[in-house]
Amino acid sequence: MSDVCLLVLSGLPAAGKTHLTNKLLQGHSAGTRYAFVIVEYDQLIPSDVEKHLIESEDQQSSWKQYRESILLCIDHVLGILQTCQSGNLLELLDKSVENVPPDLWTKFKELMPRTLCDVNKDSKLCFVIDDNMYYSSMRYKYFQLARKYTTGFCQVHVHVDLKNALLQNSQRTAQVNEDVIVTMATKMEVPDKLKNSWEEHSLNYLKDETKVEEIVCLMDTACKNPVEPVNEDDIEQKEYCRLVCSESFLHQSDQILRKLVSQEMALASGKFSSKNEVKGFASVVQMCRKELYNKLKLGSINMPRDVVAMVTDSSKDTSSEMYKLLQELFQNELKEINR
């Protein structure tokens, strides 16, 4: 479907992604060739799920389920667009979607009617995915969706430095936990067309420099070059497997390292005579955790392939190879810092 485009936004919370979508909508009102469906994750995922995301593994699981459900919603609509005329769309949207919570589908449907009624033979339809999308594996899922339906695919990374993101967040009515923003900044994987061929149609958006016309031009290019179906031995599929494995590995590593920090603090309790000494030790242990995590993320530590490939729930099993290996690395890192 060369008349449909998936535009995936990425960037820190409070970077200005919603501001950008508003500018796109203003351009549509002014007569651009596109009708937009703005898929804003913050509006679709319950606020309590995101608010406590960093505090609970259960919330993390729920958060991932909602993200997968949003992807299924878009998949469902693209399937309808591919097989039906726009006149039948609203009737088909009334049907429930398998594996999608009814309340989420109800919210998602509200995004559609006003846009679909605007679509005609002279316009194109663009789904704008408004979310942080800090891992490339998150964005790759939409590339796969574009390939499934042979649609256009492009990405815009809304750039902002951490300091300004925190400042802009403090001025919002609905603020994001600052720890979430700081943590996300260390994990952000900016689209890189030199590293990943599937990220070819990408650009960095700077609020005071990049014009909306440049994004529309990017969308035009993506629509003229829709993602083509691929053979079973596709290299990109193998790349996706690697990305998913990396994301899961880093998540499990982070969970294990946090548990090791708690263990160190528990073992050290009673050894200090003042609160300042406790704070000093806690600072050292946290520094150790961050240093080791960054080394794992950058790939400067060679982890055995079998350990990386078997990361499921390793953080809950202290006898797992991954847990024991990270525990040893953590102790070595702690010794290095204390020298």
Give per-residue pLDDT as tens, 292-309: 888 887 777 777 766 666
246 and 209 fall within a common domain: no
Of 202, 224, 246, the residue at which a domain comes to its end is: 224
Any domain includes 229:
no
With respect to residue 115, please indicate whether it lies within any of the assigned structural domains.
yes
Enclosing domain of residue 276 = 235-338
DSSP secondary structure string for all residues of 18-75: HHHHHHHHHHHHTT-SEEEEEEEHHHHS-HHHHHTTTT-HHHHHHHHHHHHHHHHHHH
Instruction: Place 56 in a pLDDT band, splitting at 50, 70 and 90.
Output: very low
Integer Cα distance of 303 and 18 in angstroms: 39
154, 221 Cβ separation under 8 angstroms: yes
Which of 304, 338, 297 shows the shortest CA–CA distance to 321?
304
- Regarding whether 283 and 147 lie in a shared domain, the answer is no
Which of the listed residues 195, 224, 253 is the one where a domain comes to its end? Answer: 224
Is residue 285 in a domain? yes
Encoded tokens for 40: 């804003």
The proportion of the chain whose per-residue pLDDT surpasses 70, expressed as a percent, equals: 78
- Segment 204-213 mean pLDDT: 84
295 and 196 fall within a common domain: no
In this prediction, residue 54 has a pLDDT band, given cuts at 50, 70 and 90, of very low
Residue 35 CA, distance from chain mean position: 24
Q: How many domains does the chain have?
A: 2
Angstrom distance (rounded) from CA 108 to CA 117: 16
Question: Do residues 289 and 319 both lie within one domain?
Answer: yes
- Residue 327: inside a domain: yes
**8 and 96 part of one domain:** yes
Contacts of 155 (CB under 8 A, 6+ apart): 7, 8, 9, 10, 139, 191, 199, 201, 202, 203
Is residue 139 situated within a structural domain? yes
Query: Distance (Å, rounded) from C-alpha 124 to C-alpha 132?
Result: 25
Instruction: Assess whether 175 and 92 both reside in one domain.
Output: yes
Q: Say which residues have a Cβ less than 8 Å from residue 265's Cβ, sequence separation at least 6.
A: 281, 282, 285
**Are 198 and 272 in the same domain?**
no
More confident residue, 107 or 85: 107
Angle between helices 57-83 and 136-149 (to 10 degrees): 20
Give the number of C-alpha atoms closer than 13 A to the C-alpha of residue 276, restricted to the C-beta side.
0
In this structure, the answer to whether residues 210 and 256 fall within a common structural domain is no
Identify whether 230 is part of a domain.
no
Name the domain boundary from 224, 259, 281.
224
Of 77 and 320, more confident: 77
Quick one: 107 and 165 in the same domain?
A: yes
Per-residue model confidence (pLDDT) at position 305: 65
The structure's pTM equals 0.67
92 secondary structure, DSSP code:
H
Question: Are 216 and 285 found together in one domain?
Answer: no
CATH of the domain at 33: 3.40.50.300
Q: How confident is the model at residue 204 (pLDDT cuts 50, 70, 90)?
A: very high
**What DSSP assignment string belongs to 140-196?**
HHHHHHHHHHT-EEEEEEE---HHHHHHHHHTSSSPPPHHHHHHHHHH-----TTT-
Q: Alpha-carbon distance 59 to 53, whole Å?
A: 5
Residues 180 and 326 in one domain: no
The reported pLDDT for the residue numbered 321 is: 80
- pLDDT above 90 covers a percentage of the chain that reads 20
Q: What is the pLDDT of residue 35?
A: 83
Give the number of other CB atoms < 10 A from CB of residue 6.
25
Residues 57 and 206 occupy one common structural domain: yes
